[in-house]
Each structure stands twice: as structure tokens, then as C-alpha cells.
Structure 1
Amino acid sequence: MRHFRANPITTQKPDRTFVTEADTAVERLIRERIADTFPDHGVVGEEYGEDGGAASVRWFVDPIDGTHNFLRGVPIFATLLGVERDGELQAGIVSAPALGGRWYAWRGGGAWGSGRLAGALADGAPRRLHVTAIADLAEAQVVYAGTQDVIESGEAPGFEALLAAAWRERGFGDFWGYSLVAEGAAEVMVEVGLSIWDAAAPVVLVEEAGGRVTDFAGRRIFDGGTTLATNGVIHEAVRSMLVTASQAMPEGGVPE
């Protein structure tokens, strides 16, 4: 947190996104801790790539999810850690220090929130998280990340149809959108262009809270494409809307 709102040293990566000294410092620290504690585990991180790719257990590290927020002094950023064994995601943690929230989950153990934002109980104990049972999109809250990414991906028609059909829509993007679905504060989170280190922890969190996460085609693929997280009840209805509306819009933007 000492780098937050402190004008950290920043460089621009080839993809035009930014990386700060805090991003690299946090990832180095996490990698060191994993190497010391679990020397046979692999690590895949946003800033330093992959080590130990043949390991049966791999950690996925996003040192600061929401770097641009961090740069501008917006407190919506978090460190994401996910872990998989033999290709299956097993656990994840989302830690948002500026918001005072932490969300975590593990297979068979449920999803939990601690800290003031994540809704800890009055005595400070973690709270068990669960998605809502809302089955009507007209009663659902939809959250999403950057709209420009959706437009550039070619998914704008489906996305616009979804927003028009929802009760309410807001741009609570990045990690927080998935946390809101897991908490039962939103029913749908839509995002495109995620890398595995962005998705690993939120996927476990939403699924252990009773929700569902797939790409727009309904596959459990979370590296570079589309991502849809829901309360599960309305997942197929939302997915169908996203796909159908986008497929009906030919090049040039005139519906068939």
C-alpha cells in the first residue's frame, strides 16, 4: 500500500497497458514465498511469465488487478492468487487492501468474505457467500469491465441487448464484478480478454458460491477470450442472448 497514491514508477508494456514498481515488487514477493514453501510448484504470473510449467500444481498470480485504477488513485484494485492441480482450479483468493476486503474459496469448502467491504460478520468472523436465486433478467443486476474491450471484440450487440434487458447495469469491473456475483450483490458479470491470472481466483470464488463461469460459448475456458459469470440460474438465458444478438449482427452493423 505504500505505493498507492504515491506516484509509483511506471512503464508501458507493448500491449499499451501499464506496469508499476508495485506490480513487479508484489509478484516477486509472492513468487519468493511460493518457491520457499512449495519448491516443486509452478507459477504463472502477469509480469514474469511462467516457471515450472511441467509441475502438477501451478499458481496464477496477478499482483495488481486494476493497475490503471491503482495509478489514478482509485481504490478498486486487488491481488489475485489462484491455484490448480492437474489442470483443475482448486482455490483462489482476492485481496483488496484499499477497500478493506478479502474474498477466498476452495473446492468443497465454499466461498467466504472477510473485512468490512466483503461483509464480515459483526464479530469479525468471515461470512459465507452465496449467489442469488434471481431467475428473471429483468430483476438482475449486470456488472462488467471496459465497454471498449467488448466493442473491439465484436460482442457489442449481445452486450447491448443484455444491458437493455437487465434491471440495472453498472461498470464494477475487474475482480470486483466477480466478487459482487459471489456475494449476491449482482447476478451477471461480463468481460472479454481475460488472461488466466485474471480469471483463476474469481472462477473458484463464483463457483464455490453456487454460481457458474464459462466463456460465451459455454466452455470452461478462461484464457484470452470471453468470460461470463452468473448466479447459475440465469446463465443459459444470458449466454444465449449474448451469442444470438451478436451472431445476428453482420459486418457493417445492420441486423439481418
Structure 2
Amino acid sequence: MAAAHQDDIRLAHVLADSVDQLTMSRFKAEDLTRERKDDHTIVTDADRAAEELVRAQLSRARSRDQVIGEEFGSHGESHRKWIIDPIDGTANFARGLPVWATLIALEEDGEVVAGVVSAPALNRRWWATVGTGAFTGPRLSSAQRIHVSSTSRLEQAMLSYGSLEGWARAGRLREFVNLLQRVERTRGFGDFWSYMLLAEGGIDVALEPSLTLHDMAALVPIVHEAGGRFTDLEGVDGPYGTSAIASNGPLHSAILEALHPSH
């Protein structure tokens, strides 16, 4: 791995450490503010404060890099872009449920080269840089390498998804329900959690019909480096579509075919 990426992943961990302290201090706070954004999703004061914190630290440590965040949009212009979701799973955060995380990704020359997913309420963190493997652990110096499963048949697969409503809005509900009936087991873990369980080999498929770049960017290198595949619903690799199918690899073609039975 290039020395620059070693430095970048260390910085991403430093950013995550700072954000974890902030978000945990607001988790279950009685005075937490909650609002509905124009897209009807929830935002809290913790989301905004967390993104502001990351932006402030990046302005000092990587002043030439572009920053793209969920809450405050894009700032700067560079071939290096930090893509931030300050709290993925805000609805859980606002309800006092522990399944939420900060997502930090670095894109360089059009490729996401590093990703960190930090879930402090679960006491879990995952990360990867291109070409070095995917890891989980409390810190860089105490890490365990992770790998996707080897399941090769849909009938033996465990699949995680976000909600049925999204598949109805996408016009794919019938195909999706048919797919659910073909696999061995289904669970709705949702958000980042599905994809990290996939990278660890705990489940075999994770998919959602409607996502944005900041939802997906940090997940992609972790899934890839764990041996999996990450595409949109049309089979295009990477986080640049508006949907996600992540799998252990052997199951990917069957998943795409199930969701496009006429192809």
C-alpha cells in the first residue's frame, strides 16, 4: 500500500475517534434535536455537529482535498475527495437504538481507496484500503482480518435488506419477494450493519434499492477487500449508482438475474 494511503487510513481513524466521542455524548441525550429534511429523512444536532467536526479536522490535515458530506454538501475541488456520512442510521440514533455508524471514505482519481465504518454504540469498527485487506477491531494496532463467506447457492444463503417499501417504490417488489422466498434465511439488519456482516462472512447478501454516494462509499473498499462484490441493481460496480447489491461474489450473478427475470 502506498505510504499516502497508510497516512490517510490513520487520519480516518483519528477522525472516527473524535466523532465517536461527540456522537456518543449525544446518543440518548434528552435535549437531542430532531428534524425532518426535505427528503423526509431525520437529521439531529449530532449529525450536523459530527460533520462539522470532520470538516474542521480535514481543513487542517488535508486542506487541498475536497469534502463531500451528507449534511453540508461539497466543498473544494480535487482529485482526492473525502466522502462523509456523519451518522448512518440516524433514525436508529434518534430512537436510542445502537445500530448507527460514522462512514468515512477517501476517493482518489475516481476510485474509493479507503473506508472506515465506526459504530461506537456497538463498540465495533471496520476499515480497508485498496490492496491490503479488510479489518475489524478497536484500533489499527489491534485488528482482525475479515473475509466474506463461501456460500455458492441461493438456497443456502442468508440475505439482509432495509425495507419492503423501498422495493415497492422501485417497482421491483414482486421480484424482490420472490428472491426472499428462494434464500434460506432473511433478516432486515439495514444500513451499514448489513454490509459489515457481509464482509465478516456472517451473511451472504445485502441489498437496498435506494441509496446515495455517502451511504455507500465507505462500504465499498471493505466489501471488496473482504473478497466480496458491490454493484448497483444494474450490475455496475462501485458506489456511483442509486442502489446497492453486495454479495460474497459467487452469488452475485444469481441475485442480479433474480431481480431482472426478463434479462
TM-score normalized by the length of structure 2? 0.87
Residue 37 of structure 2: which of 6, 13, 18 is its match?
13
Do residues 110 (structure 1) and 133 (structure 2) align? yes
The 3-state SS of whatever aligns with 2:218 is helix
1:81 aligns with 2:104: yes
Q: Is the 8 A contact 2:98 2:122 kept in 1?
A: yes
Taking the TM superposition and a 5 Å limit, the aligned residue runs for 1:236-247 are 236-244=253-261
1:71 partner amino acid? A
Distance (whole Å) between structure 2 residues aligned to residue 36 and residue 42 of structure 1? 13
Measured in 1, the distance between the counterparts of 2:147 and 2:182 equals: 24
Q: For residue 57 of structure 1, what is the amino acid of its counterpart? A: R
Q: Secondary structure of 1:16's match?
A: coil
Q: Secondary structure at the match of 1:219?
A: coil
Structure 1 Cα separation of the partners of residues 129 and 83 of structure 2: 14
1:188 is displaced (CA, Å) by: 0.2
Cα deviation, 1:45-95, whole Å, max 9, x if unaligned, reads 00000011x301001100000000001111000000011101111000000
User: Which residue of 2 is the match for residue 189 of structure 1?
Assistant: 206
Report the CA distance between 1:223 and its aligned residue: 4.1
- Residue 43, structure 1, aligned to residue 67, structure 2: yes
How big is the shift at 1:6?
Answer: 1.2
Judge conservation of contact 1:194–1:222 (CA < 8 Å) in 2.
no
Partners of 2:50 and 2:186 lie apart in 1 by: 33
Deviation track 1:113-145 (CA, whole Å, cap 9, x = no partner) reads: 114xxxx9xxx9311000011101111100011
Q: Report deviation, 1:222.
A: 2.6
1:22 to 46, 60, 81: 46
What secondary structure does 2:93 align onto? helix
1:166 matched to 2:183: yes
* In the alignment, structure 1 residue 225 sits paired with structure 2 residue 242: yes
TM-superposed deviation, 1:220: 2.1
* Cα separation, 2, equivalents of 1:189 and 1:13: 26
TM-superposition CA deviations, 1:149-194 (whole Å, max 9, x none): 1111112122111110111000010000000110000000011211
Unaligned runs of 5+ in 2: 1-23
Distance 1:107 1:226 in 2: 22
SS in 2 for 1:59: strand
Query: Does the aligned pair in 1 maintain the 2:133–2:145 contact within 8 Å?
Result: yes
Preserved CA contact (<8 Å) 1:192 1:224:
no
In the alignment of these two chains, the number of paired residues is 238
Aligned to 1:251: none
SS at match of 1:98: helix
- Partner of 1:133 in structure 2? 150
- 2:25 matched residue in structure 1: 2
Distance 1:239 1:55 in 2: 34
Matched AA of 2:176 = F
Partner residue in 2 for 1:155: 172
Which SS does the other structure have where 2:260 is aligned? helix
Q: Superposition pairs for residues 176-215 of structure 1, below 5 Å? A: 176-215=193-232
Structure 1 stretches lacking a partner, 5+ long:
249-256
Decide which of 83, 86, 93 is 1:63's aligned counterpart.
86
Matching of residue 97 in structure 1 with residue 114 in structure 2: no
1:177-235 Cα offsets, whole Å, 9 max, x none, are 00011000000001121110110011111001000001121112534522100000110
* Code of the aligned partner of 1:190: L
What SS does the corresponding residue of 1:2 show, helix, strand or coil?
Answer: helix
Code of the aligned partner of 2:114: A
